[in-house]
Structure 1
Amino acid sequence: MNFNCFLVILFVVFFLKASCDSFELQKEWVSHKEKYNLQFTINEEAVRFKVFADNVNKINEHNSDPNQLYKKGINKFTHLTREEFQLTLAKFPENKPKLRMANLEANEELPDNYDCRDEGLVSKVKDQESCGSCFAFCSAAALEGMYKKLHPKEDIPDFSPQQIVDCDKYDSGCEGGWPQNVYTYVYFNGIETWENYPYAAKGQECAFDTEKAVFKNAGYRDIPQNRESLKVALMENGPCSVAVDASDWYSYRSGIFDGCSKNIRYNHGVLLVGWGVENDQKFWTIKNSWGTTYGEEGYIRILQNDDPKSEDNCGVQGYGSFPIPE
């Protein structure tokens, strides 16, 4: 075979591979739009597809590195740029709640692995959709865990984040808020179930009915900013709400996420449900509110920093809190 023939064959092979890759990408794009019910104008379509293709290339590049602790994947955010994704995250109001620090000390050696789900203290994963109501979801979930702890023979309830969005005037509805404020609101008012006050993914006029309230707490406690206190809080009180920096979570699929920024910007509220060790790597287990198609069936595991007082682990140890029973 002469050199010119070789070049022609090489060109054909590359052309066929590129065509095949392009076809597969187009299939992924169509599937993505159908799965998440996305519709675009002709001009938007071209822009969104380019962003999607760029993100898929980054996902494939990341996953091809065998040294990575976690895998990336296509999800509901893949048609967004990183900057656009960050704009969907919540804001924490400047007026921080009054600090009510808990006294948490381990009376015995803490286990290497612990998960509130094993005790039935965590309800199913939900989706906040386009509303910045993460604070309402994680605080409602912590209240659900406390209810189950107090009523072990009953099914774990689904409390209403929509009531919190509409009626909790300490916070800012779909613009964000603090879980501690939610616990204060529920202390004074009580909370209804999801069934009685369903989620709408937008702010509405408050329709809370005191007669339908099924639970009240007695306020909240903040968790000292160290790893041991977080673990004791989980074991003694059930799942806890924590504030995190989720700026780089948008393409997470599985494994232990170690892409946390060292310059923490709190922009998301989640539920801390446990911790563990895998292949000598310590992690936190977190229930998110982006639906079950995100991450590990709605969960993400975050690498624990070796420094027990560090906030480098996406800020998990910065603003933890939990409701306390009446």
Structure 2
Amino acid sequence: EFLARPKSKEAAKLDGPAFVDYINKQQSFFKAEYSPGAEEFVRRRIMDARFAEDPEMKEPKDLLTNSGLKIDLPERFDAREKWPNCTSMKFIRDQSGCGSCWAVSTVSVMSDRACALSNGRINRILSDTEVLSCCTGNCGFGCYGGWVDRSFRYAWRHGISTGGGYREKVQRSIIYTEEYIEQRNNLHPGNETVIMYEIMTRGPVATTYMVYRDFNYYKGGVYIHTEGEMIGTHAVKIIGWGKENDVPYWLVANSWNTDWGENGYFRILRGENHCNIEKAALYPIPIV
């Protein structure tokens, strides 16, 4: 019912603290908190609408659903708890004032999955700076944005170096094959169950969702878009799920440092393709 309600013309006229107060009065799912620089902070870190979906990406293949597997999923799951020794699982990155989320989120997912699928043997923080700087042209546009799936293709062609200082020779740590690239988007659009199973068995997935004005002021709780126009898109990684007050949610790692949101994380409505978060979910399969 909340999702189906019409948007308010009154809210469109509100600004600053008045807009935040209105958001908090309209719902109790998440808390919005006013900060004078919040809108500019978010604007510098998100991408424009053209990066919501890649027009060149092939149609996803829902291999899991077609396999006939019976899936038993828990009500709550957190990848950090299943793979506690994987450093990258608990590492919140900071993309700073740059729309590099497309590179940051995908490399973060690659780091996580390499560790998970190698049983901790490959436990490294891979370099998002390499993807941001080198995955250019038809791949991405640096701080102006890029495509998640094209980042995966870059990894297949070139590998990804580890992060940290670059005075020493970098080390290639993960290999991706053409088979992996063809399977990079095996999630059926909007298929909540397949996304959950994939996270639980092989690690976090990347996604790109639509950002609305009220998200500028997110402080905590389960985000459900309430009021405000779309202002861009943002790429993140989903690390788990749960339920709060009967509201199902995705647990998402952001890349705006640990002093944002819920210690660097946020939760968003699950199962409704809210803000396109499920339709755009993708994952890499590292050969480890």
Q: 1:117 to 1:129 in 2, by over 3 A?
A: same
In structure 1, the partner of 2:173 is 214
Deviations 1:134-174 (A, max 9, x none): 01111011101111113324474211111001111322221
Does the CA contact (< 8 Å) of 1:168 and 1:185 recur in 2? yes
TM-score, length basis structure 1: 0.69
User: Which residue is equivalent to 2:197?
Assistant: 232
Residue in 2 that maps onto 1:246: 211
Q: Which structure exhibits the higher relative contact order, with contacts defined as CA atoms closer than 8 Å and separated by 6 or more residues?
A: 2
Number of residue pairs aligned between Structure 1 and Structure 2: 254
Distance in 2, matches of 1:263 and 1:58, equals 12
1:295 partner SS: coil
CA contact (8 A) 1:237 1:322 kept: no
How far does residue 181 in structure 1 lie from its aligned partner after superposition? 0.9
Structure 2 CA distance, aligned partners of 1:80 and 1:255? 18
Question: Distance between the aligned counterparts of 2:262 and 2:217, measured in 1?
Answer: 12
Q: Distance in 2 between matches of 1:217 and 1:245?
A: 29
Any idea what the Cα deviations from partners look like across 1:96-146, whole Å, max 9, x if unmatched?
A: 333453412352322111111212351411111111110111101110111
Aligned to 1:254, what secondary structure does the other structure show?
strand
Rg larger for: 1
SS of 2:216's equivalent in the other structure is coil
Displacement of 1:197 after TM fit? Answer: 4.7
Match of 1:255 in 2: 221
* Runs of at least 5 residues in structure 2 that lack an aligned partner in the other structure: 1-14
**Alignment partner, residue 103 of structure 1:** 63
Q: Could you tell me the TM-score, scaled by structure 2's length?
A: 0.77
Residue by residue, what CA displacement relative to the aligned partner does 1:236-265 show, whole Å, maximum 9, x if unpaired?
221000110122321101111112679978
Equivalent in 165, 182, 189 of residue 132 of structure 2: 165
Alignment-derived partner of residue 285 in structure 1:
251
Q: Supply the AA of the counterpart residue of 1:79.
A: G
Q: Pairwise mapping of residues 21-100 of structure 1 onto structure 2 (< 5 A)?
A: 55-60=16-21, 62-63=23-24, 65=25, 67-74=27-34, 78-81=36-39, 85-86=42-43, 88-91=45-48, 92=51, 95-100=55-60
The RMSD of aligned alpha carbons is: 2.9
Is 1:193 the equivalent of 2:162?
Answer: yes
Structure 1: distance between partners of 2:122 and 2:54: 37
Q: Distance in 2 between matches of 1:186 and 1:260?
A: 37
2:113 to 146, 159, 174: 146
Question: Secondary structure of 1:269's partner?
Answer: strand
Q: Is contact 1:162-1:197 (8 Å) kept? A: no
Asked if the contact 1:97–1:178 (Cα under 8 Å) also holds between the matched residues in 2, the reply is: no
- Paired letter, 1:224: H
| % identical equivalent positions | 24
Q: Given the alignment, which residue of 279, 296, 319 partners 2:280?
A: 319
User: Which residue pairs with 1:126 in the alignment?
Assistant: 93
Q: Partners of 1:242 and 1:303 in 2: how far apart?
A: 14
* C-alpha contact 1:261 1:314 (8 A) present in aligned 2: no
Q: Which amino acid aligns with 2:247?
A: Q
C-alpha contact 1:131 1:174 (8 A) present in aligned 2:
yes
Change (3 A) 1:71 1:263: closer
Gaps of 5+ in 1: 1-53, 199-207
Q: Distance in 2 between matches of 1:230 and 1:261?
A: 27
1:223 to 187, 193, 205: 187
Q: Secondary structure at the match of 2:162?
A: coil
**Distance in structure 2 (CA, Å) of the matches to 1:298 and 1:114:** 18
